[in-house]
């Protein structure tokens, strides 16, 4: 087995990795802006600038139809029968992706292949959630943008390669996962998929994807693809971001067929994150911890400058008490999400 150092910085819990930034935001950032939650002014049209309480369905409504998957919003008051009808009316067919309306880092994101699996997901989670058609395009990219000083710039483009193993005809899926460094360090999350039998023996050269989540916590590999940044791509995102009209700082997560499709604007946007959009290019193996911190603090310096400019131009930052209430509600909503749905019998 290939054991990955559990103390390597890429395996640190997110709160630990970002602890220096947290200190910076609520000390130096506060003193430079005189606002505790100044970053909410970076994207003033969404909750806390996209840090917490931001609704995925609200953001999806602003994305032009040509760029987004077919999607429906499922409320806590909907019945399963109503959801099936919504899917039919919207032309959404299995497989689908289900994800909470509030959440991040792959939280409760699941690929669902049939009505039985949808029923199970529906009854297990007391929450509003989104159903999207599954986009099978093989290339998944994250594009980090900002519009400081009026012109859109791309900070980074990162490719997400979903975790997978290649069968050798002898080893079980469990063994193949544990032989890979990412598989060993993220095995708990990777093995959560109940539809995957870890004891099967994949055939020689068979490629197996134990889960459908392109997230670092689920074993995905991130590679910086800044070679895709060009004036043409910048213009595409300049026009697109202007149409959406929500983000001055954000990270577009999308899928496309290949790099040529991306460079011509032929892609589907899975979601857009605001200030909480992590600069995931830092997880490329070429980055050291020092370089990663440089990128993180560079990102937040831009967020600070955008916020200062917007505050100067009249955008108001919510009072701290209201911001803490939003944070508390965000956390409570996630906790409620893992509870069974009320007023419905489990199938």
pLDDT in tens, 1-21: 444 555 689 988 899 999 999
**CA gap 347, 65 in Å, rounded:** 34
Query: What does the pLDDT read at residue 83?
Result: 96
CB within 8 A of 197, min separation 6: which ones? 173
**What DSSP string runs through 260-297?**
HHHHTT--EEEEEE-TT---GGGGSTT--HHHHHHHHH
- Count of domains for the chain: 3
The phi, psi pair for 237, rounded to 5°, reads -75, -30
Residue 345, pLDDT score: 46
Based on the domain organization, do 30 and 103 belong to the same domain? no
Residue 182 has a pLDDT of 83
Tell me, what's the pLDDT at 343? Answer: 65
pLDDT of residue 148: 95
pLDDT score recorded for residue 214: 81
Summarize pLDDT for 128-173 with one digit per residue, the tens. 999 999 999 999 999 999 999 989 999 999 999 999 999 999 999 9
Question: Do residue 249 and residue 222 come from a single domain?
Answer: yes
DSSP secondary structure letter of residue 129: E
Domain co-membership, 121 together with 185: no
Q: Is 15 inside any structural domain? A: no
DSSP 8-state assignment for residue 135: -
Find, among 250, 252, 216, the residue nearest to 106 by Cα.
216
Average pLDDT over residues 169-187: 89
Residue 346 covered by a domain: no
Q: By C-alpha distance, which of 128, 121, 108, 189 is closest to 333?
A: 128
Residues 157 and 291 in one domain: yes
Residue carrying the six token digits 């997880």 = 283
**Same domain membership, residue 241 and residue 296:** yes
249 part of a folded domain: yes
pLDDT of residue 279: 97
170's CB contacts (< 8 A; 6+ apart) are 201
Average pLDDT over residues 302-319: 96
Question: What contacts 24+ positions apart, CB below 8 Å, involve 31-38?
Answer: 32/304, 32/308, 33/304, 33/307, 33/308, 33/311, 35/307, 35/311, 35/317, 36/320, 36/323, 37/317, 37/318, 37/320, 37/323, 38/304, 38/307, 38/308, 38/311, 38/317
CA neighbours within 13 Å on the CB side: how many for 38?
Answer: 27
Among 175-179, 289-293, 319-323, the least confident range: 175-179
* Mean pLDDT of the residues in the chain: 92
Burial string for 300-316 (b: 16+ CB within 10 Å, else e) reads bebbbbbbbbbbeeeee
Taking alpha carbons only, the member of 202, 113, 133 closest to residue 164 is 202
Say whether pLDDT at 183 is over 90: no
pLDDT tens digits along 35-84: 999 999 999 999 999 999 999 999 999 999 999 999 999 999 999 999 99
Residue after which a domain boundary falls, among 119, 134, 149 = 134
Token pair in block for residue 250 = 């954000």
319 and 268 within one domain: yes
| Residue 8 counted as domain residue | no
Task: Give a yes or no: residue 3 inside a domain.
Answer: no
Rounded Cα gap, residues 166 and 235, in angstroms = 39
Same domain (yes/no): 222, 153:
yes
Per the domain annotation, does 4 fall within a domain?
A: no
pLDDT value, residue 5:
59
- pLDDT for res 69: 97
Q: Give the pLDDT of residue 6.
A: 55
Considering the domain architecture, whether residues 200 and 314 belong to the same structural domain is answered as no
Question: Has residue 269 been placed in a domain?
Answer: yes
Specify whether 245 is located in the same domain as 276. yes
pLDDT tens digits for range 25-36: 999 999 999 999
| CB burial string 92-116: b at 16+ within 10 A, e below | beeebbbbbbbbbebebbbbbeeee
Q: Give the CA radius of gyration of the chain.
A: 21
- The answer to whether residue 258 is domain-embedded is yes
Predicted confidence band of residue 302 (pLDDT cuts 50, 70, 90): very high
- Lookup: tokens for 84: 């099936």
Residue 190 belongs to what domain range? Answer: 165-211
Question: Could you tell me if 118 and 263 lie in one domain?
Answer: no
Q: 50 and 175: one domain?
A: no
Distance CA 72, CA 95 (A): 14
The domain boundary, picked from 154, 177, 211, lies at: 211
Lookup: tokens for 201: 């023996």
Q: Give the model confidence (pLDDT) of 186-238 as tens digits.
A: 888 888 777 788 999 999 999 998 887 888 888 899 999 999 999 999 999 99
What pTM value is reported for the model?
A: 0.92
Q: What is the CATH number of the domain that holds 87?
A: 3.30.1490.20
Do 330 and 191 lie in a common domain? no
C-alpha torsion 338→339→345→347, nearest 10: 30
CB atoms within 10 A of CB 230: 11
End residue of a domain, out of 134, 154, 181: 134
Write out the H or E segment, with its range, that includes residue 143. Answer: strand 139-146
User: 310 near 248, Cβ under 8 Å?
Assistant: yes
Residue 346: its pLDDT value, please? 42
CATH code, domain with 216 = 3.30.470.20
């Amino acid at each position: 087995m290939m054991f990955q150092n559990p103390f390597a910085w890429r395996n640190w819990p997110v709160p630990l990795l970002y602890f220096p930034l947290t200190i910076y935001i609520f000390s130096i950032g506060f003193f430079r802006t005189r606002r505790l939650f100044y970053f909410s002014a970076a994207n003033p049209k969404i909750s806390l600038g996209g840090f917490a309480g931001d609704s995925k369905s609200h953001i999806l409504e602003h994305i032009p139809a040509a760029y987004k998957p077919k999607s429906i919003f499922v409320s806590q008051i909907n019945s399963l029968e109503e959801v099936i009808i919504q899917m039919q009316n919207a032309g959404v067919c299995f497989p689908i992706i289900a994800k909470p309306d509030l959440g991040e880092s792959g939280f409760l994101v699941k690929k669902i292949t049939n009505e039985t699996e949808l029923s199970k997901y529906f009854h297990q989670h007391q929450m509003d959630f989104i159903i999207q058609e599954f986009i099978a395009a093989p290339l998944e990219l994250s594009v980090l943008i900002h519009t400081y000083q009026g012109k859109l710039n791309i900070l980074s483009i990162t490719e997400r390669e979903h975790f997978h193993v290649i069968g050798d005809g002898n080893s079980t899926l469990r063994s193949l996962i544990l032989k890979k460094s990412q598989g060993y360090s993220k095995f708990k999350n990777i093995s959560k998929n109940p539809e995957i039998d870890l004891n099967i023996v994949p055939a020689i050269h068979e490629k197996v994807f134990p889960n459908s989540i392109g997230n670092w916590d689920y074993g995905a590999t991130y590679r910086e693809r800044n070679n895709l940044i060009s004036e043409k791509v910048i213009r595409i995102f300049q026009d697109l971001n202007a149409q959406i009209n929500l983000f001055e700082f954000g990270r577009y997560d999308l899928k496309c067929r290949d790099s040529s499709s991306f460079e011509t604007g032929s892609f589907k946007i899975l979601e857009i994150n605001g200030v909480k959009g992590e600069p995931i290019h830092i997880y490329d193996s070429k980055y050291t911890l020092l370089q990663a911190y440089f990128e993180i603090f560079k990102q937040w310096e831009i967020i600070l400058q955008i916020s200062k400019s917007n505050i100067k131009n009249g955008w108001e930052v919510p009072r701290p008490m209201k911001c803490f209430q939003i944070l508390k509600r965000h956390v409570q909503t996630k906790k409620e999400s893992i509870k069974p749905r009320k007023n419905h019998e489990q199938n």
